[in-house]
Every structure is written in C-alpha cells, then in structure tokens.
Amino acid sequence: MAGLQGALETSAPVSRLHEQQSYNPADFPVPTGREEEWRFTPLRRLRGLHGADPLPEGHVTVDVEAGPEVKAEKAGRGDPRVGASYVPADRVSARAYASFTEATVISVPAEAVTSAPTIIRVRGHGTEGASFGHTVVDVGPMARATLVLDHQGSATYADNVELLVGDGASLDVISLQDWNDDAVHLSHHHARLGQDARISHTVVSFGGDVVRIVPTVSYAGRGGDAELNGLYFADAGQHLEHRLFVNHTVPDCRSRVLYKGALKGDGAHTVWIGDVLIGAEAIGTDTYEYNRNLVLSDGARADSVPNLEILTGEVRGAGHASANGRLEDTHLFYLMARGIPYEEARRLVIQGFFGELLDKIRVPDLRERVAAAVEAELG
Amino acid sequence: MATLEIRDLHVSVEEAAGTQREILRGVDLDINAGETHAIMGPNGSGKSTLAYAIAGHPKYHVTRGSVTLDGENVLAMSVDARARAGLFLAMQYPIEVPGVSVSNFLRTAVTAVRGEAPKLRDFMKNLRAAMADLSIDPAFAERNLNEGFSGGEKKRHEVLQLELLNPTIAVLDETDSGLDIDALKVVSEGINRFRADPSHGVLLITHYPRLLRYVPPDYVHVFVAGRIVRQGGPELADELERDGYEKFITAEAAA
C-alpha cells in the first residue's frame, strides 16, 4: 500500500546498538544519515544541532511549578546530581550535556506522597540559535510523584532528562510536545528504577517541525516496572520520532510499551523504534511492546521497528506487535449504519483508537487538554 | 404507512483481483409496515448480501434494480442517511470498535437518528430500561462496542439498538444464530415488542425455522441462488422444516 512501511529489520542486534556512551560530543562522529540511529531523522532540518559548528545562544526559558512536597532547584554544571544516572548515547544528547548552563533539579523526599503534579514549563521564544537543557528528577524511596514536562513555543532545543526512581517509589511522567510548527526538539529521557520501583512515562507529541524523543529505561534492582506510553499526531511535513530502549539487566523486572500514532497530510512522517534487550542475567523478565499507526491520508509515512533481543531462556514473557493501517471501513460502516454521519463516525473511531492512551494520563486537566488536541487535529 | 420496495435487485461483490461476482440475481420484495417477512434459504444463497445491500455496505455493488422506502431512492442515499430514513440492519456479525463505549455510541446514534440530542437523564433512563428488558448487565454500557462480547451478547446488543433507534423497517440478519434457548426467547421478545407497533415492518433472515416459532411471520420467502424461488404464508416455514431446502436447490439448478 502506498505510503505505508512495514516493520524494517535493523542491521545490528540491539545489544550492539546501544554500546557507545560518552559525555564528550567529540566521541560521536557527526552523523551522515547512514547510521542506524540517524537513518530516519531529517538531519538537514536539525539546524546544526548534530553538527560540529558552534551555534549562537537560543531563546528557551524553563519555569517550574513544584508540588508542595517537592523541592525544585537550579543547579550548576558541577552539581554531583547532574549526570549521575545517565551517560549520553548519541551526539546530540552529548552536545546537550556539554552545552547546558543551568540544570533543573527536582527532589521528592523519601516516602512523600505529592498532592499535586510538578510542572516544568519549557517555553521557546524563537528558533534562532540553539538552546540546551538538563533536568534531574530524584524520587526518594517509597515516594510517589507526578511530573509534567510541558513544551510550547518556537525553539531549537536539545536536552536530557534523568529520572531516578528510588526503591519502592512511583513516578508518573507526562511529556507534552505541544510546540509551534517551526520547533526542533531532540530529547533523551533516561529512567533508572530502583528495587520494586515503578514509572509510568507518557510522551505526547503534536507540535514541532522535527521532534525526536528517546526514552530509555534501566533497572537497578529487582521488581522494577516501567510503563512507556506514547501518543502522537503528525500533520503535513512534520517528523515525529520516538526511539525507545529498555535494557533488562536485572531479574524479575517488567516493561510495557504502548505507542499509538496518527498521520495526516503530505510528508507527515512518524518513526517508532522499540528496542528491548533482555540480558543473560535478567531471568524472569516480562516485556511486551506495541505500536500502531493510523495513516489517515496519502503521502504520509509511518516507520515502525520493534527490536527484541533475548539472551536468556528464562523469561516470563517477551513479545511485540507493530501494525500500520488505515481507518477500518468496517468500523465506519457499523457506526454509519446506525445513522452516525461519516465525519462523526471517523472522529469516534480515532478517539477510540487513542482512548486507552488518554486513560494513562492521570492528570485530569492534562488529559482534557490532550483530548482537545486530538479533537483539534481531526478538525 | 411505510413500504420498502425492492425491484429486480442485482448485486455483485468484489473479489480478489478486481473481479465481480454476481450474488443477487433479480430480487423482488415488498415489505409494508405492520408486516413480518421471513427470508429462508440455504447457506450461501445470498440472504446476507440482500441485507447488506439494503444497508449500503461498500463491498456490495448494485448493478441493476431499485430499492425505495416510501418512494425515496434508498440506493442514492449514504449508509448513514439510510439509517436516518428509517432502515435498520441487525448484523449477523456485529463489528468490534475499540475504544468506543456502548453508551457513547448509542447516544451518538440516537442523536443522529432523531436529529437532536436526547436529555442525558432521559436517555440513561431509557437505556437502563431497554437493557433490563433484554437481560443485559448495566455494566455493559461502559464496555467497548462489541469488544469481547459473546455471540449472545452481540445479538442482544443489536436488538437493544433496534429498540432504541426505533426504525420503520428492520432487517434482522441471522439474529437467532449462536443463541441458546433462553437468549433466543429474550431476543424474540425484543423483536416482538418492536413489531407490535403497526407502523413497523420486519424482514427476518434466517437459515433455521427455530426463530419463527417465537416470531411468527406473515409471509415466508424461500431464497435460493440469489433470488426468491417461492413465496407463501407461515405454513411454508413448516414445510421447509420438514423437507429442507433440497427440492428448491434441485429445481433451481435445473432451471
């Protein structure tokens, strides 16, 4: 079918794809577009973020509305909490790490149960130059917290987000890419889960010219549970890319990946890469990943590449599913046969497609905002 | 009084490689308000094709003939316009629509068919009553449309829609299939409530005469190889139960 791409196998096993890590951008060659991790990304539209030339300072501001039980600080580059859990895994991430001037550090005390979400508002005030950010979220043992990363405006922005979830702690993260159409945003989110820790990480990408989010998960103790969710809607000309890597190195941990996207318009492009590695020592791992894309018009392209590498014979469960397709005629027929006009039937089916992801957003205001954004995209 | 008039209806279905296969080969049938008709025939005779063609399923192409409802050209209407004009098809295999709740779907459909949104309170009251009549668990309203429903649940849900949408002419395609005897009684009662209104007409499509013992028809039509080969009263159903379709199939093959 024109405009559709099936699952494409990558050239190297997952274990080889994520080997290189460094804080120094020079350790990563400038990408050419032939590298596995860059082959889908339109490098020419990155405004030099991936290159070697210096870039003038951009226009991004970061404001924090901290929950009452939460401590929010600005920290300098030398702060020991910065970079403690994450080593950059590609050139843009390393450049962001080498270039930011001030980090945002959010601390949730042990056993604190936060009464309101902590909201980090990242605002772009222009696409000229480039801005770099760094965020550390440290959730103490047995604490519970919710973090919202809300990106709006026009920007050329690269950043790293470190999510440390202590033993028995629970963190909900919702990262909303609600940029203007001219924004370029490349971001790494790394979650490190302690023993019996849990994270629900939800990425919502609507706006931006190029958005590339790389959520990764590592486990520091048994019983870790990572839920990685994503909802995206690409319009004409937009490139929305989500590359996940769950690294199971510890026994008895769980991961669930659920990403769904819709595409509409000429040149709309989405990329979903789901890398899961189950190491030889990670017996009892339970993992499943799912990606589905709804292609709503000609000229749009969805790439979906699940990659599961299993190095032990003793897993509890390991699977993946990936499908791209159009709206089902049978769904529309059933609704229309009950008198519901085509446009409304289509709306119901698409809202239904995203419904299970909206349910993952447990901040009511935000869920309504995302539902309204889906609605607006359909208009 | 409403009349659905089918004249010389020829319908083809698109098969692989773009070829068309003719399934209906000239169907003539009038269904008036106040009447219950049964179409009976062997599997593969085209009964469901007739139902889908009346509803406007995109897979079926009318190549000749006409369908009118009170003189209005049904074939020129979109699928949703047919439903709003008063036609209803209870499907043999209701379609699962992920993420769309039964209550949201029903309220949207009732709003579309009536042309205005019912008051939420009235709607919920009617829905609960209609569900109770069909022994449907109230928790059903929050489930996704037909998703994970058993065969019997799907059929009850089709009849629930029939009662809530209140069409003029209802086509019920194998609504009895896959039902145990208790479910069959509940579903039949629903159909009988609908047809008790003299402004309503019913076309039952069935392979087995079992349903007709609970919903006695006024007219029975034997359907073989894409057309009606014999028409009669309710006694024809008894004859089919006794003798089967064999003699009709043989006669049609010889013709």
ipTM of the complex: 0.96
**Residue A33 Ramachandran class (φ > 0 left, ψ -120 to 50 alpha, else beta):** left
pLDDT band at A11 (very low <50, low <70, confident <90, very high): low
**CB-CB under 8 Å, A329 with B109:** no
User: Which chain B residues touch A351 with a CB distance below 8 Å?
Assistant: 99-100
**CB-CB under 8 Å, B100 with A348:** yes
**CB-CB under 8 Å, B84 with A337:** no
Distance from the A4 Cα atom to the nearest Cα atom in chain B, whole angstroms: 21
State how far the Cα of B139 lies from the Cα of B109, in Å rounded to an integer: 19
For residue A50, give the DSSP letter.
T
Condensed to tens digits (0 to 9), the pLDDT of residues B27-81 reads: 999 999 999 999 999 989 999 999 999 999 999 999 999 999 999 999 999 999 9
Q: Is the whole model's pTM more than 0.90, yes or no?
A: no
Q: Which amino acid is at A292?
A: R
User: Which chain B residues touch A337 with a CB distance below 8 Å?
Assistant: 55-56, 79-80, 82-83, 89, 91
Q: What is the DSSP string of B57-105?
A: -TTEEEEEEEEEETTEEGGGS-HHHHHHHTEEEE-SSPPP-TT-BHHHH
**CB-CB under 8 Å, A353 with B99:** yes
Condensed to tens digits (0 to 9), the pLDDT of residues A253-308 reads: 999 999 999 999 999 999 999 999 999 999 999 999 999 999 999 999 999 999 99
State how far the Cα of B241 lies from the Cα of A350, in Å rounded to an integer: 46
pLDDT band at A6 (very low <50, low <70, confident <90, very high): very low
- Number of CB pairs < 8 Å for A and B? 77
User: Which chain A residues touch B56 with a CB distance below 8 Å?
Assistant: 337
State how far the Cα of A9 lies from the Cα of A7, in Å rounded to an integer: 6
Site from A338, A350, A358, A374 to mutate, B interface, most B CB atoms within 10 angstroms: A338
Distance from the B245 Cα atom to the nearest Cα atom in chain A, whole angstroms: 31
Distance from the B42 Cα atom to the nearest Cα atom in chain A, whole angstroms: 25
User: Which chain A residues touch B57 with a CB distance below 8 Å?
Assistant: 333
Contact between A133 and A95 under an 8 Å Cβ cutoff? The reply is no
**Residue B8 Ramachandran class (φ > 0 left, ψ -120 to 50 alpha, else beta):** left
For residue B201, give the DSSP letter.
E
Question: Residue B44 in 3-state DSSP?
Answer: coil
Residue in A330, A341, A348 closest to B80 by CB: A341
From B89, which residue of chain A is nearest by alpha-carbon distance? A337
Kindly state the tokens that stand for A118: 């902590």
Question: Residue A379 in 3-state DSSP?
Answer: coil
User: Which chain A residues touch B154 with a CB distance below 8 Å?
Assistant: none
Average pLDDT over residues A137-146: 98
> Interior CA angle at A41 toward A211 and A202, to 5°?
35
Residue in B55, B80, B89 closest to A340 by CB: B80
Condensed to tens digits (0 to 9), the pLDDT of residues B72-115 reads: 999 999 999 999 999 999 999 999 999 999 999 999 999 999 99
State how far the Cα of A332 lies from the Cα of A313, in Å rounded to an integer: 44
Backbone phi, psi, residue A149, to 5°: -105, 115
